[in-house]
């Protein structure tokens, strides 16, 4: 693991779910100092109560300034204009971000930091913070998210890729797409907190009380419930097997009205990360049904490895990164195929968490992935003289 570095990290919001970004950064912070920069937004806001509350929250957090939130981690919530397709907004954002982040860096005593960015919207300010190295860590095809300005997102991402000394991606499709603009593009697939999710296999782990009394079998999903989740698959499964219980855990950001009408479909809302093993322990089979599009084809679903680390049998859409896991996962495309696979698992006794199955994820830990990242950072550091900051690398 690298150590003794100052790292400016552009991420999602600190208080959000512990996605890959938080798993990576909290491990880096064990031996390095990190300035976590909350989300600068990827989509244009709407006139909605959700976006209004989010705007007020960000304003209040900006007023609080830079503050510690964990060992070796300081949080800064920037104030930006979230209309990335407008040159004036981007010009204002760049200068405001540069001024505020330089100020925060001085306060923390940062010198010649590494900038590690997960978001293309940081493109205009990255390279203006006295960095000695720029690393772009790409975990999604951001231009394909609903509500984004696709042209602006692609332009910003190309800019940040060409500035970067190192580009890390989480899926082979992302590697192919990003390597066009920077030859120093490397694949590190997602990891998983094996010890945490393995708790689902332990008898001392209690099943979450709000699902403990549901009639089985219990077919489960946890994660953000957004427009990339194929809810029609779940609806048809629930209609076909009314005696089964379907549990969906996570924040809802899409229309779920058709599912809410079904008595055997249960939405719990977002649940704390620490409680997920207790929910997984209730599952007989886990589902990962995704709509197939340019966004999901480039995705490496984090929840897949979490299901597997919990020892659960899984039926998932055959995305490229799902198929890389081979026979650890059953795959299906249509509702009929999903039903057949789930019934096959139940009939063969493959239900619920299994320590033996969880052990198959031992080689996929986040700690191991961070060692891969550290080796790439060290190699890039050795090449800094030969490839100065911001030099374009084209395959």
Q: What is the pLDDT of residue 55?
A: 54
Mean pLDDT across 166-185: 96
* Mean pLDDT (the chain, rounded): 90
Mean pLDDT across 210-219: 95
Mean pLDDT across 25-49: 79
Alpha-carbon distance of 268 to 196, in angstroms, equals 21
Strand order, beta sheet including 330-331: 265-269, 245-249, 218-222, 285-288, 314-316, 330-331
Cα dihedral 66/69/71/75 (nearest 10): -40
| pLDDT over 90 percentage in the chain | 74
Q: Give CA separation, 360 vs 288, 344, 351, in Å.
A: 19, 21, 16
Alpha-carbon distance of 167 to 21, in angstroms, equals 15
Q: What is the pLDDT of residue 207?
A: 96
**pLDDT tens digit sequence for 81-129:** 666 666 777 778 788 888 889 999 999 999 999 999 999 999 989 999 9
Contact 299, 229 (CB under 8 A): no
Question: Is 70 exceeded by the pLDDT of residue 394?
Answer: no
Does domain 194-360 fall under CATH 3.40.50.2000? My reply is yes
Alpha-carbon distance of 107 to 92, in angstroms, equals 23
Q: What is the pLDDT of residue 348?
A: 87
Q: What is the pLDDT of residue 90?
A: 78
Confidence bin at 395 (pLDDT 50/70/90): very low
Q: What is the pLDDT of residue 383?
A: 77
| Residue 311 zone, left/alpha/beta (φ > 0; ψ -120 to 50; rest) | left
Question: Is 70 exceeded by the pLDDT of residue 139?
Answer: yes
Confidence bin at 18 (pLDDT 50/70/90): confident
Q: Which CATH superfamily includes the segment(s) 6-191+365-382?
A: Glycogen Phosphorylase B; (3.40.50.2000)
Question: Is 60 exceeded by the pLDDT of residue 42?
Answer: no
Residues listed for the chain: 395
| pLDDT over 70 percentage in the chain | 89
Alpha-carbon distance of 45 to 81, in angstroms, equals 10
**pLDDT tens digit sequence for 217-271:** 999 999 999 999 999 999 999 999 999 999 999 999 999 999 999 999 999 999 9
**pLDDT tens digit sequence for 52-69:** 565 566 556 666 668 898
Three-class SS state of 246: strand
Q: What is the pLDDT of residue 241?
A: 98
The DSSP code for 123 is: T
**pLDDT tens digit sequence for 295-305:** 999 999 999 99
Q: Give the strand pairing for 73-76 and 67-70.
A: antiparallel
Domain boundaries, the chain: 6-191+365-382, 194-360
Q: What is the pLDDT of residue 213?
A: 95
> Phi, psi (5° rounding) for residue 357?
-70, -40
């Amino acid at each position: 693991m690298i150590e003794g570095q100052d790292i400016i990290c552009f991420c999602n919001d600190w208080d959000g779910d512990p996605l890959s970004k938080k798993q990576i950064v909290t491990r880096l912070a064990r031996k390095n100092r990190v300035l976590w920069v909350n989300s600068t937004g990827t989509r244009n806001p709407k006139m909605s109560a959700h976006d209004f509350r989010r705007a007020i929250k960000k304003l209040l957090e900006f007023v609080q300034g830079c503050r510690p939130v964990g060992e070796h981690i300081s949080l800064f919530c920037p104030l930006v204009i979230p209309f990335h397709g407008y040159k004036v907004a981007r010009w204002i954002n760049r200068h405001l971000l540069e001024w505020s982040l330089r100020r925060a860096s001085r306060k923390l005593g940062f010198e010649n930091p590494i900038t590690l960015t997960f978001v293309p919207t940081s493109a205009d300010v990255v390279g203006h913070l006295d960095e000695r190295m720029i690393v772009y860590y790409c975990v999604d095809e951001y231009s394909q998210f609903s509500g984004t300005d696709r042209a602006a997102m692609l332009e910003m991402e190309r800019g940040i890729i060409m500035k970067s000394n190192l580009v890390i991606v989480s899926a082979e499709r992302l590697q192919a797409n990003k390597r066009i603009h920077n030859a120093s593009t490397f694949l590190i697939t997602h990891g998983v907190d094996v010890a945490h999710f393995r708790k689902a296999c332990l008898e001392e782990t209690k099943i979450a009380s709000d699902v403990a009394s549901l009639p089985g079998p219990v077919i489960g999903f946890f994660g953000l419930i957004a427009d990339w989740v194929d809810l029609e698959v779940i609806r048809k499964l629930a209609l076909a097997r009314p005696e089964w219980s379907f549990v969906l855990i996570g924040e809802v950001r899409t229309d779920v009205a058709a599912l809410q009408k079904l008595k055997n479909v249960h939405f719990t809302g977002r649940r704390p990360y620490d409680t997920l093993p207790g929910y997984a322990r209730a599952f007989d089979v886990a589902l990962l049904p995704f709509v197939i599009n340019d966004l999901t084809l480039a995705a490496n679903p984090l929840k897949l490895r979490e299901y597997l680390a919990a020892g659960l049998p899984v039926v998932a859409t055959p995305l490229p990164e799902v198929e890389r896991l081979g026979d650890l996962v059953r795959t299906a495309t249509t509702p009929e195929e999903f039903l057949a696979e789930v019934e096959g698992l139940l009939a063969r006794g493959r239900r619920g968490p299994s320590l033996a199955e969880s052990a198959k994820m031992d080689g996929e830990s986040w700690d191991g992935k961070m060692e891969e990242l550290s080796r790439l950072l060290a190699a890039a550091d050795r090449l800094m003289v030969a490839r100065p900051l911001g030099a374009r690398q084209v395959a």
